[in-house]
Structure 1
Amino acid sequence: MTLSNPNMPQRQLGTDGPMVGAIGFGAMSFAGFFGAADDEVSLTTLQAAVEAGIDFWDTANIYGMGRSESIIGRYFREVGDPGITLATKASIIPGPPRKFSNDADHLRSELESSLTKLNRSKVELFYAHRRDQSIEIETLAETMAGFIQEGLIDGYGLSEVAPSTIRRAHAVAPVRAVQNEYSLWTRLPELGILQTCDELGVAFVPFSPLARGALGSVVLDPATFSPKDFRSTNPRFTGVNWGYNLERIKAFHAYAESRGTTTTALALAWVLNTGDNLIPIPGTRTPEHLNEWLPALSMEFSEDDFDAIEEILPVGWAYGDRYNDSQSIGPERYC
């Protein structure tokens, strides 16, 4: 079995990493974080990713407590592995209270469990999902280097970290990728993360590049979110904040329409055109939404385009924090 779209533009996953499609796939939605998910539909979504040439898939042990990983493993078992570059993550210990562990024994145990679910003997990329402040980052880098030597992983990454953490880890063992939130409504990485990754030759993997669906082609109505939906208690989707955000989002919809494209494609193209080392991983539960991403690949941006979007969605435009108080535990603050 092979990928069906060899014309997918390629980007390198870190200086020492493989070439992968410019758009990756985030499998968090398979766990029901953004509404009820159907495993059978999830499998058809993975098939749609293969047909689109999307060969960099991202999951985590915490997504549905193994559900997302198991769906990917089932796909490989039933359909085959067409040469997917696979990433998974560990270190979050669900609560309450929520905790984090970068301990070598914990990461090894979680990694081995993930490999079983994924029907893999190794993964190409293994992230520390959050930094455990009780363990020096150099120690974590040494642990990851050990996993590489053992052949359990090809490279390692960090998630929701500060530029200083990247530099310290990279000095011990090269970091292949950093995964932080980045989109037109979350631009914090511009204050050091983008520059550090570019300098060190580290791939930057933006998650939620479509603003958790806020910049998708359908205008969201938070009143329809289920109580289990991650966004139902997220500050940007609740209270007066959503009303203010919606005004800007509708203006962006109108601009996309004036350009003859969709909000989804335009928002994703903006991320892709920010830098050649960015490999965004939008997520979805359906093949239909996945196919809405693809026009972004052929969309070229001029300085006028960036300026026009900046006028509609200026840096810092979003009302409300990107996480509520409980969700914000773990990401490193650096500004």
Structure 2
Amino acid sequence: MKNRTLGRTGASISEIGFGAWQIGGSWGDVSEEDGKKALNAALDSGVTFIDTADVYGDGRSEKIIAAVLRERGGDKPFVATKAGRRLNPHVAEGYTAENIEGFIDRSLTNLGVETLDLVQLHCPPTDVFYRPEMFGALDALTVKGKIRNYGVSVSTVEEGLKAIEYPGVATIQIIYNIFRQRPHDLFFAQAQKKNVGVIVRVPLASGLLSGKITTQTAFAADDHRLFNRNGEFFDVGETFAGVPFEVALEAVEQLRPLVPKGVAMAPFALRWILESQAVSVVIPGARNEAQAQSNASASSLPAIPAETMAAIAEIYDRLIKVHVHQKW
């Protein structure tokens, strides 16, 4: 497992992390036992970065992480969580110092720690990015010792560019994958210039880039790939990267011949993300041990040849770009 530096935090972390949304909820049934096995498999494979949120299973994800790390003992990985989506309604006015500190206190309890390594505002409404008092409140929480670093999980490139204007923002979490390539155009260069860490989420487009989903795949009623396919509950860009399902499946079939023999599509798609040096860590999720191990294997894959990168870009430009590029 290769390491990269997480921007202004200065932390050296594995370039493949563990996204803990799946072990919290909204991905169909993942038992606590399977969640623990998946996380242990990732850690055994050299993963040293875990990303979670207080709303993943209403704290279930954070509690599973705490239990696994307590059982393992030894050196602790870097654990990032998120705050803000517990607001109901989820509006900019709810992003106050008092509310965010309350959410952070709850995460401290769930994770069983005295200080959080990294807290990210969880895809806040755009107006929040124009409220310096919110970022000042996060600065105050670092002084209090409740958090070591803070960042923002953003929905759009524009939000990311605004967020990195604040000097205390150490990281930006953003969607970037073969089906969502816009961050590479401008945002990545600006993040590097300001030494901001980039955490890449939805790297496999909700499983589409595993190459295992077909038109016959059935999703459970509590799986967001069923109930949020048209953005009914949150930003549609979080589900299948916002790409129409049938279009994405066609693109997957055209990508398939580009994957080297003996390599699964999922680690190949993760390797594609790692071709950008602006990326600090990519955080695929896993429902079981095998998926966690497959994800981790991406770090050991060789660089993707230039002609293959060009072929991937052509598929994106021809099939995908019109559906997503200017939306996020």
TM-score range, shorter chain: 0.7 to 0.9
CA separation of 1:32/1:265 partners in 2, compared to 1, >3 Å: closer, same or farther? same
Is the contact between residue 41 and residue 292 of structure 2 (CA under 8 Å) also seen in structure 1? yes
Match of 2:30 among 37, 40, 49: 37
Partner of 1:230: 224
Partner of 2:290: 288
**Is the counterpart of residue 151 in structure 1 residue 153 in structure 2?**
no
Match of 1:194 among 161, 166, 188: 188
Instruction: Write the letter of the residue equivalent to 1:234.
Output: R
Partner of 1:141: 135
Instruction: Write the letter of the residue equivalent to 2:146.
Output: L
Residue by residue over 1:30-75, the C-alpha shift from the partner in whole angstroms, topping out at 9 and shown as x without a partner, is: 1222211100111111111111110100000111111111111121
1:228 partner SS: coil
CA separation of 1:23/1:310 partners in 2, compared to 1, >3 Å: closer, same or farther? same
CA separation of 1:167/1:271 partners in 2, compared to 1, >3 Å: closer, same or farther? closer
Partner of 2:82: 89
Partner of 1:24: 17
Is the contact between residue 61 and residue 88 of structure 1 (CA under 8 Å) also seen in structure 2? yes
State, as a whole percentage, how many aligned pairs show the same letter: 26
Is the contact between residue 122 and residue 152 of structure 2 (CA under 8 Å) also seen in structure 1? yes
Is the contact between residue 185 and residue 316 of structure 1 (CA under 8 Å) also seen in structure 2? no
Is the contact between residue 141 and residue 172 of structure 1 (CA under 8 Å) also seen in structure 2? yes
Residue by residue over 1:180-199, the C-alpha shift from the partner in whole angstroms, topping out at 9 and shown as x without a partner, is: 11111122323432122111
CA separation of 1:13/1:315 partners in 2, compared to 1, >3 Å: closer, same or farther? farther
Matches within 5 A, 1:164-243: 165-166=159-160, 169-221=163-215, 223-232=217-226, 233-235=228-230, 241-243=244-246
Is the contact between residue 18 and residue 51 of structure 2 (CA under 8 Å) also seen in structure 1? yes
Matches within 5 A, 1:257-296: 258-296=260-298
- Separation in 2, partners of 1:73, 1:249: 36
Which region of structure 1 is more displaced relative to structure 2, 284-293 or 269-278? 269-278
Partner of 1:327: none
Higher relative contact order (CA 8 A, sep 6+): 2
Residue by residue over 1:124-148, the C-alpha shift from the partner in whole angstroms, topping out at 9 and shown as x without a partner, is: 1100112342674321221111111
Count of residue pairs brought into register by the alignment: 314
- Separation in 1, partners of 2:264, 2:297: 9
Partner of 1:13: 6
Q: TM-score, normalised by structure 1?
A: 0.85
2:281 partner SS: coil
Instruction: List gaps (5 residues or longer) in structure 1.
Output: 1-7, 323-332
**Is the counterpart of residue 55 in structure 1 residue 48 in structure 2?**
yes
**Residue 241 of structure 1: how far off its partner (Å):** 3.5
Partner of 2:317: 314
Instruction: List gaps (5 residues or longer) in structure 2.
Output: 231-238
CA separation of 1:321/1:250 partners in 2, compared to 1, >3 Å: closer, same or farther? same
**Residue 121 of structure 1: how far off its partner (Å):** 1.0
Partner of 2:235: none
**Residue 274 of structure 1: how far off its partner (Å):** 1.8
Q: TM-score, normalised by structure 2?
A: 0.86
Computed over aligned residues only, the root mean square deviation of the Cα atoms, in angstroms, reads 2.6
